[in-house]
């Protein structure tokens, strides 16, 4: 029998691709939505929604009624262990058989930066619950480049603190495809997948691809980790997250984030999307 699936994080980047994929496959699933205004467009496409919030335990119990498999995602925040812990409590009470969780590269409850630590703590809660799990630990999303769209459009420039550091960014569409496979096929229980794109790339490589796609020169303007930190805090980023960026981008600039993984292809059976394809698919965002 096909599993009944609940998707938490359905309105976000990965979750919306996942819902479209599940819908196209005619899977038996519901999307948990906390903002009623966002449910309408999904319902119009034929996607079933259920109201709920990771911060409202009662709503999770209702949403998980009759559910076999849970896709679990929440935003980067110190609340990840608490909010995802609420979902695990409800999953235990409702007999959910499998949790597919979006985690992060290097997730570990003793990691040297916050994001990996918060995800590591949530992974630990899931492991200790005894519910079979699949942890998807992606590298930086290619979609993060949308944050650079303004300076690309207005200054023909990307600001980067990575220097010659290379990282194998991954397309969120591939993360969604791995999640889809783990939710709809057998054999992914109690596994962790590290998800990367097919090559480690530098910001110079990205600028080169953008220059070709846009038919104008895009340059990389180097900034120091401290300048990046100051600008991020001034723009309103929480201090803990700005500190994380300093640590992580510092690692990347020293070549410590370039390790590749075959897991996207191993799980989905098709090659991971490369940066050229990502830029071609989204060139309008950078024009
Ligand atoms: N960006 C990266 O490079 C990167 C790398 C590795 C790992 N990650 C991890 O990936 C995750 C983010 O994925 P994403 O970019 O696809 O997410 P996203 O686009 O930010 O979407 C977040 C989703 O979570 C929902 N949500 C937030 N708080 C909720 C709550 N209290 N109850 C129910 N739903 C809630 C949001 O709903 P609303 O629409 O109502 O807000 C939205 O659907 C994070 O855990 C992050 O740490 C990111």
Q: Would residue 201 be called left, alpha or beta, if left means φ above 0 and alpha means ψ between -120 and 50 degrees? A: beta
Rounded to whole angstroms, how far apart are CA atoms 259 and 62?
41
Residue of 54, 74, 278 best suited for mutating to test ligand 1, as the one with most atoms within 8 Å of CB: 74
The residue contributing the CA closest to ligand 1 atom 17 is: 12
Identify the CATH number of the domain defined by range 141-170+197-259+273-287: 3.90.25.10
Query: What is the CA(155)–ligand 1 centre distance, in A?
Result: 29
Q: What is the Cα–Cα distance from 185 to 170, expressed in whole angstroms?
A: 22
For residues 96 and 68, the answer to whether their CB atoms sit within 8 Å is yes
Tokens of 62: 């209702």
- d(CA 112, ligand 1 centre) in Å: 22
Q: Where are the alpha helices (DSSP H) in 95-200?
A: 114-129, 149-155, 172-184
Query: Within 6 Å (CB) of ligand 1, which residues are found?
Result: 8-15, 34-35, 38, 53-55, 73-76, 83, 102, 104, 115, 138, 140-141, 144
Distance from residue 31's CA to the centre of ligand 1 (Å): 14
d(CA 250, CA 161): 8
The residues spanned by each domain of the chain are 4-138, 141-170+197-259+273-287
Is the CB of residue 100 less than 8 Å from the CB of residue 156?
no
**23 in helix, strand or coil?**
helix
Between the alpha carbon of residue 18 and those of residues 5, 11, 14, 23, the distances in Å are 11, 10, 6, 8
> Which ligand 1 atom lies nearest to the CA of residue 35?
40
pLDDT in tens, the chain (287 residues): 899 999 999 999 999 999 999 999 999 999 999 998 999 999 999 999 999 999 999 999 999 999 999 999 999 999 999 999 999 999 999 999 999 999 999 999 999 999 999 999 999 999 999 999 999 999 999 999 999 999 999 999 999 999 999 999 999 999 999 999 999 999 999 999 999 999 999 999 999 999 999 999 999 999 999 999 999 999 999 999 999 999 999 999 999 999 999 999 999 999 999 999 999 999 999 99
The rounded distance, in Å, linking the Cα atoms of 82 and 264 is 29
Class at the top of the CATH hierarchy for domain 4-138: alpha beta
Number of C-beta neighbours around residue 153 at 10 A: 13
Q: Residue 164: how many CB atoms within 10 A of its CB?
A: 10
Q: How many angstroms does the Cα of residue 216 sit away from the middle of ligand 1?
A: 33
Q: Positive or negative CA dihedral for 52, 57, 58, 63?
A: positive
Ligand 1 mean position, distance from CA 50 (Å): 17
Give the per-residue pLDDT at 285.
Answer: 97
Q: How many CA atoms lie within 13 A of 103 on its CB side?
A: 30
User: Would you state the pLDDT for residue 1?
Assistant: 80
98-102 and 69-72: which strand pairing?
Answer: parallel
Q: Which of 124, 99, 100 is nearest to 110 (CA)?
A: 124
């Amino acid at each position: 029998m096909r599993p009944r699936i609940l998707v938490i994080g359905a309105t976000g980047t990965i979750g919306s691709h996942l819902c479209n994929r599940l819908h196209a496959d005619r899977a038996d699933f519901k999307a948990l939505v906390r903002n009623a205004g966002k449910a309408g467009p999904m319902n119009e496409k034929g996607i079933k929604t259920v109201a709920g919030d990771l911060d409202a335990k009662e709503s999770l119990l209702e949403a998980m009624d009759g559910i076999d498999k849970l896709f679990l995602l929440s935003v980067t925040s110190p609340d990840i262990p608490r909010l995802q812990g609420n979902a695990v409590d409800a999953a235990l009470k409702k007999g959910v058989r499998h949790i597919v969780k979006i985690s992060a590269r290097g997730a570990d409850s003793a990691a040297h930066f916050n994001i990996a630590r918060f995800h590591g703590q949530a992974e630990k809660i899931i492991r200790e619950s005894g519910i079979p799990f699949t942890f998807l630990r992606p590298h930086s999303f290619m979609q993060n480049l949308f944050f650079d769209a303004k300076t690309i459009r207005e200054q023909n420039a990307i600001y980067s603190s990575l220097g010659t550091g290379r990282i194998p960014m991954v397309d969120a569409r591939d993360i969604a495809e791995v999640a889809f496979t783990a939710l709809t096929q057998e054999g992914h229980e109690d596994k962790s997948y590290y998800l990367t794109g097919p090559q480690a790339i530098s910001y110079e490589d990205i600028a080169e691809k953008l220059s070709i796609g846009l038919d104008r020169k895009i340059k990389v303007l180097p900034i120091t980790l401290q300048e990046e930190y100051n600008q991020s805090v001034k723009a309103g980023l929480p201090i803990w997250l700005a500190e994380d960026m300093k640590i992580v981008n510092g690692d990347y600039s020293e070549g410590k984030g370039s390790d590749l993984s075959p897991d996207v292809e191993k799980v989905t059976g098709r090659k991971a999307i490369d940066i050229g394809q990502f830029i071609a698919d989204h060139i309008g965002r950078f024009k």
